[in-house]
Structure 1
Amino acid sequence: MSNNYTKKISLSEDIKNIKNNTTDIYNIINKVCKNIEEADPIVKAFENEVEDSKKIRLLNDAYYSSKNDELHGVIVGVKDIFRVDGFPTKAGSSLPPELFEGQEASSVTKLKKAGALIAGKTVTTEFAYFEPGQTRNPVNINHTPGGSSSGSAAAVAAGFCHVALGTQTIGSISRPASFCGIIGYKPSYGRISTDGVIPFSPSADHVGFFTQDIEGIGIIANVLCDNWNKNIKTSKLPVLGVPDGNYMYRADNTVLENFEFNIQKLQDKGFIIKRIKTFENIEDINRIHKLMVSAEIAEVHKNWFKKHRKLYRFHTKEIIEYGQKIDKSDVKKAIKGQLELRKKLQNLMSKQKFDLWISPSTLTEAPIGIETTGNPFMNLPWTYSGLPTITIPSEKTTNQLPLGLQFTGFFNEDEKMLDFVGRIKGIEV
């Protein structure tokens, strides 16, 4: 019996096929629901719901969808820290869902208004931190899908939906995308509104999403990102910068060998690669980021934690208790440090004349078991700085587990970054 439950699904192709009348929204719903029915009892990407009711709801919503809608036929999964009308929000926790009621997330509303259909809520780690849910990696169900956007990444990889919303405060989009062999986009900080999302750390929370196709990223970004310019096209190959030093050396040999193999491939295709010493103080960056997010999650949960402390799991309880002890002056310094790091990274890009940073997406392949979601070390500095990132799949390891390449661009130049990465993806890195 196979441990692989991945299924191909292309957002851009299905939109094109609907327009060409080679398929319709009902065929897509039937295909997606068949994938869910066959595999989700094992993968467990979605929060519990009777599958018949999921299909009935999708068919009912499809009745009101217009073929002229920008996202007609697009099926969406939503991480269960986003509020969605008609669905409870549990945030991967045992706390009463009534605590989290409120207005629907604007990102969800935008997708609906553009014609997308909501397949359901996807599993998240508890409050988007490190306590995992039951989701398994569709590439190999004996391994973690990563976190905290575990269910969203797994749902896209398994063909349960075209796109799934996630969030990233440390590495919760980039890491699961890599482990599940799909594409994960974390925009520039603030480019997609976080309203209607249960916060972790407001100074570091990013809303992003997963697809299987790079064209699909642009289609969804055009709906979700503020002032998205879909006409930005570049005529040159991007110059790429590798962040050499302490940061890179933390990745294991398998990851580094795969990374260097891809660097050589890119050079063979005519890409210029520059190696730039940076993140020599990576441990300080990690420490300051932890101070900031710990203090902020403690503040977010202040009232809930007082009343429901016993319902919190170990890691979440630990970070809240740590955050309660942090001085506000240290938090202010940490927030200031975000802008300083962003400026430093962009200055290096400008002075050394390169367009994108390129780095591994993870320290290792997806760990075995679902007791851990892996280590977000490779994602943290980019998230802390608020710069935009895209993770794309690269080769699989000898264990047939995917690895990823992580690209980082200039702040608020997400469109240019996407165009560059689309060119790179097009040469089949």
Structure 2
Amino acid sequence: MIQDAALSTAAQRLRSGAMSAEAYRTKLLDRIDAQDGEIAAFVPADDRKKRTSRSCTQLTETYTTRADRPSLFGIPVGVKDIFHVNGMETRAGSGVPPAVLAGPQAASVTAAENAGAYVLGKTVTAEFAYFEPGPTRNPHQLEHTPGGSSSGSAAAVAAGMVPLALGTQTIGSVNRPAAFCGVVGVKPSFDRISTAGVIPAAPSVDHVGYFTQDVVGAQIAGSVLCTDWRPESTPSEIQPKVGVPTGPYVEQADDIAIAAFDQQIDQLKANGYTVREIPIFEEIETINNRHKELVAAEMALVHEPWYREYGDRYAPETAELIEEGRSVGTDALAVDRASRSDVREQIHSRMDDTGVDVLVSPPAPGPAPRGIETTGDPIMNLPWTHAGVPAVTLPIEKTADGLPIGIQCTARFGDDEWLLHWCRSIEATFTEETQ
């Protein structure tokens, strides 16, 4: 059920006129009709064909000259159903009435539209971007989870139903599903993409991110979605110096993930990369606990009015988190928030001390678990999210039973352009290895 939908290729063909926006729209809608009954990546919508046809017509009429076409001209985008989109309901995977959740269109959606894209549809999310899963299945193996909470966005890109999809990450909701579904998942530096118009989970650590099938596509999307994009700032060197975390953080992964990660490191070394071990996150249990407490406390604050009125409509796991968050005191929350900068400083100082450009790690504790009753564990993404540094998941290989295995690449805060530049090199290395 995996089909090609590389953003870089589609964008070039649409802008050049080699393919019309209407032809591409029809192609992807046919894929949705053929596949989404089983995958369930998209929120059902009766008006999708009519609405998207109107969008393509408007784009063609607006950009009559090919030279004037912007970077995302004619690109259909999947949008996680916690982003507000003009003319579309936001349900957030919940039973709370959409009218209660309504708000102005997300700034990131508007940015994509201003660059020539249009919304193909809303994608399935776990309830309020937490852990209660929706019906989405992994396109590689339907009996396995796609991850979450950006389940539909990752699955839709993996299945080739859309070349670009928006998601969010509060713990691991972009990098983990990207790993499980075998796509590129980008969680930029904190606040690099505006969260305006997105239903928050925990505002201090909420990140807007996105999914593509290739790194070049991720760079194109980043130039549109991220504020103050600086492509000219990237270094001339092709290969980054790579840091490999050691200690209790990496030991949270299972034997399959660690064996795959060790093999990935060996491949990087064999291809001439400078690789250095870096002890880091020695207090990972404390980091984990502070982040989880922060999420609970802030989610309780965000949901207070809705939960008070519609508490019986929340899934048990989400309700339990909110109840837990209500008991977190202001002093404890202040400590949790302050620890974000402490963890960021630790990352920066360890990278500076060892002279590395990128840190690599497993993006999940293992391959996608069997069953869709869980979205898997985000523990391998948590410290990077807590620190707000950029993190990119790259698809690398598959297990013997066809489940994707990826690698997670991270860099200093604000170095998003650099990180994607380095990721192109790493992506190319592993692509050449598998050919």
Q: Aligning the two structures, in what range does the TM-score lie when normalised by the shorter sequence?
A: over 0.9
Report percent identity of matched pairs.
43
Task: Identify which of 36, 39, 53 aligns with 1:43.
Answer: 39
Identify which range, 342-351 or 59-68, moves more after superposition: 59-68
What is the identity, as a one-letter code, of the residue corresponding to 1:357? L
Task: Report the AA paired with residue 23 of structure 2.
Answer: N
Alignment of 1:255-334 (within 5 A): 255-334=257-336
Residues 217-232 of structure 1 mapped to structure 2, 5 A cutoff: 217-232=218-233
Per-residue deviation, 1:239: 0.7
Q: Give the equivalent residue in structure 1 for 2:14.
A: 18
Deviations, residues 294-320 of structure 1 (Å, cap 9, x unaligned): 100000011111111111101100100
Per the TM alignment, residue 56 of structure 1 is displaced from its structure 2 partner at its CA by 2.1
- Kindly indicate whether the alpha-carbon contact (under 8 Å) linking 1:150 and 1:176 is maintained by their aligned counterparts in 2: yes
SS at match of 2:231: coil
Structure 1: tracts of 5 or more residues without a match: none
Partner of 1:379 in structure 2?
A: 381
2:353 is aligned with what amino acid?
A: K
* TM-score, scaled relative to structure 2: 0.96
> In the alignment, what sits opposite 2:5?
9
Give 1:27's match in structure 2, choosing from 23, 29, 32.
Answer: 23
- Structural mapping, 1:30-429, within 5 Å: 30-50=26-46, 53-65=47-59, 66=63, 67=66, 68-236=69-237, 237-428=239-430
SS of equivalent to 2:232: coil
Task: Please state whether the residue corresponding to 2:430 is helix, strand or coil.
Answer: coil
- Structure 2 distance, partners of 1:366, 1:84, is 30
- Deviation of 1:39 (Å): 0.3
Q: Is the 8 A contact 2:409 2:423 kept in 1?
A: yes
| CA distance in structure 2 between the aligned counterparts of 1:343 and 1:187, rounded to whole angstroms | 17
Q: Is the 8 A contact 2:83 2:105 kept in 1?
A: yes
| Cα separation, 2, equivalents of 1:197 and 1:19 | 29
TM-score of the aligned structures, taking structure 1 as reference length: 0.97
Give the 3-state SS of the residue equivalent to 1:363 in structure 2. coil
1:393 partner SS? strand
Letter in 2 for 1:17: R
* Contact kept? 2:149, 2:375, Cα under 8 Å: yes
Output the aligned Cα RMSD.
1.0
Which whole-Å CA distance do the structure 1 matches of 2:73 and 2:127 have between them? Answer: 32
Q: CA deviation at 1:254?
A: 1.0
The answer (yes or no) to whether the contact 1:342–1:385 under 8 Å persists in 2 is yes
Displacement of 1:55 in angstroms is: 2.1
Distance 1:18 1:114 in 2: 13
How many angstroms apart in 2 are the aligned matches of 1:145 and 1:413? 28
Give 1:19 shift: 3.5
SS at match of 1:166: strand
2:176 is paired with a residue whose SS is helix
Q: Deviations over 1:35-73 (max 9, x none)?
A: 1000011100011113xx312221211111125132112
- Report if the CA contact (8 A) 1:218-1:418 is conserved: yes
Equivalent residue of 1:246, what SS?
coil
The answer to whether the 8 A contact 1:178-1:391 is kept is yes
Letter in 2 for 1:300: V
Q: Distance in 1 between matches of 2:309 and 2:16?
A: 56
**Per-residue deviation at 1:17?**
1.7
1: CA distance, partners of 2:71 / 2:242: 33
Q: Distance in 2 between matches of 1:116 and 1:136?
A: 26
CA distance in 2, matches of 1:114, 1:262: 36
Q: Distance in 2 between matches of 1:349 and 1:228?
A: 23
Distance 1:57 1:48 in 2: 13
Q: Which runs of 5+ in 2 are unaligned?
A: none
Letter in 1 for 2:182: G
**Could you tell me how far 1:428 is from its partner in structure 2?**
2.3
Q: Do the aligned residues in 2 keep the contact of 1:234 with 1:420 (CA within 8 Å)?
A: no
Q: Contact between 2:15 and 2:71, CA under 8 Å: does it hold in 1?
A: no
Change (3 A) 1:254 1:283: same
On the 8 A contact 2:171/2:381 being kept in 1, the answer is yes
Q: Distance in 2 between matches of 1:22 and 1:69?
A: 15
Q: Which amino acid aligns with 1:404?
A: G
Contact 2:6 2:163 in 1 (8 A): yes
- Paired with 2:18 and 2:198, the residues of 1 have a C-alpha distance of 37
Which of structure 1's runs of 4+ aligned residues deviate more than 3 A? none
